[in-house]
Amino acid sequence: MATIRTLEEALKDILHDAGKVSKYDAQALKALILADGKISTEERLFLERALMDNILDEQAYQMLSQMLLRDELR
């Protein structure tokens, strides 16, 4: 499980460099989150906040929202 601190630090670095999370940045976040094979409650809340804060470009939004949706369908 990725810690919220680790995810927030990664997100801060991404936003500092680019301003919005790109598809490639989203892939890196996804890998951090799924390293243990599941999405924890904390990770879910992190993703939901990122989706709501409008910090993702269109492709990143699609990727991360689909990841959450697939997890809900399990």
Binning pLDDT at 50, 70 and 90, where does residue 67 land? very high
- CA Rg, the chain, in Å? 11
Both tokens of residue 2?
């990725």
Q: Can you tell me the distance from the alpha carbon of 9 to that of 14, in angstroms, rounded to the nearest whole number?
A: 9
Question: What CA–CA distance (Å, rounded) separates 29 from 44?
Answer: 12
Other beta carbons less than 10 A from residue 19's beta carbon: 10
Q: Where do the H-state alpha helices sit in the chain?
A: 4-18, 23-33, 41-52, 58-73
Predicted confidence band of residue 19 (pLDDT cuts 50, 70, 90): confident
pLDDT, tens digit (0-9, with 9 covering 90-100), for 30-40: 998 888 888 98
